[in-house]
Amino acid sequence: MYRVKEAFYTLQGEGAQSGRAAVFCRFSKCNLWNGREQDRAAAVCNFCDTDFVGTDGQNGGRFETADALANHIRQLWPAGEGRPYVVCTGGEPLLQLDEALIAAFHQAGFEVGVETNGTLPAPAGIDWLCVSPKADAEVVIRECNEVKLVYPQPLALPERFTDIQAEHYFLSPMASPSLLEGGLDPVKQSNTRKATDYCLKHPRWRLTLQMHKIVGID
């Protein structure tokens, strides 16, 4: 059984695949926060900008089989256009994503991207893996396509993650958890300046901005 909070067609807004059309499959649940506001401050990850509780979002639901979920996601891709791309996110997708579901996505013609906090092992077959470390949580994934660190995090300094083998290292300025528009978020503006300064001093790191919030697509 797979539990999905919501699924929607949009442009990838973050990292090296920014601007690419994708169906986002947002799995329910996370291992670093239970999603309740009253428990946020005590959670390992306490700045999450996402509601991943339950299965009641747009195109969300409970899916008994990998094929049922893959077919559901396939219907959200525009007919006959380009190479279908699904981004598995959440919540923490690696609590649920398994080799059977990756195989079903491939069978349905998808390339499979994953956004993970890196604390759980990744199944084989993922086409694009993004690891986004959180606070003092141990990262067990040792290689990926991109590291995308939300910045600043006092317990997750960038230096700690340069031994993860990756093609790209990104800093993503921390936004207010509440869903404010990109331009109206003073917390984010100040964090964007800090991330910019860090990238200028340490040029292996690149800046990425949450383009979907700037553009206002989701």
Ligand X SMILES: C[S@@+](CC[C@H](N)C(=O)[O-])C[C@H]1O[C@@H](n2cnc3c(N)ncnc32)[C@H](O)[C@@H]1O
For the question of residue 88 being annotated catalytic, the response is: no
Which spans of this chain sit near ligand SF4 (rule: CB under 6 A)? 30, 32-33, 45, 48, 50, 52, 90-92, 117, 134
Radius of gyration over alpha carbons of the chain, in Å? 17
Binding site feature residues: 11-13, 26, 30, 45, 47-50, 89, 91, 132-134
Distance between CA atoms of residues 197 and 205, nearest Å = 11
45 flagged as catalytic: yes
- Select 83 or 200, whichever has its Cβ closest to ligand 2KA: 83
Residue 94 structure tokens: 């690696």
Amino acid at 20: R
Strand 21-27 to 85-89 pairing: parallel
Burial class (CB in 10 A: 0-12, 13-18, 19+), 82: exposed
Measured from the CB atom, the residue of 9 and 67 that comes closer to ligand X is: 9
What does the alpha-carbon distance between residue 176 and residue 124 come to, in Å, rounded to a whole number?
34
Task: Print the binding letters for residues 85-104 with ligand X: x by CB under 6 A, - otherwise.
Answer: ----xx-x------------
What six digits make up the tokens of 180?
A: 């404010």
Mask of contacts with ligand X, 139-178, x by CB under 6 A?
Answer: ---------x-x---------------------x-xx-x-
Instruction: Confirm whether 50 is a catalytic residue.
Output: yes
In DSSP notation, 149-209 reads EEE--TT--GGGGTTSB-SEEEEEEPPPSS---GGG-HHHHHHHHHHHHHHHHSTTSEE--
CA gap 10, 13 in Å, rounded:
9
C-beta closer to ligand SF4: residue 15 or 91: 91
From the candidates 8, 10, 196, 212, give the one annotated as an active-site residue.
212
Pick between residue 82 and residue 203 the one whose CB is nearest to ligand 2KA: 82
Query: Is residue 50 close enough to count as binding ligand X by CB under 6 A?
Result: yes
| Residues acting as catalytic residues | 24, 30, 45, 48-50, 115, 212
The residue ranges that bind ligand X (CB under 6 A) are 30, 47-50, 89-90, 92, 115-117, 132, 148, 150, 172, 174-175, 177
The residue ranges that bind ligand 2KA (CB under 6 A) are 10-14, 24, 50, 89, 115, 212, 218
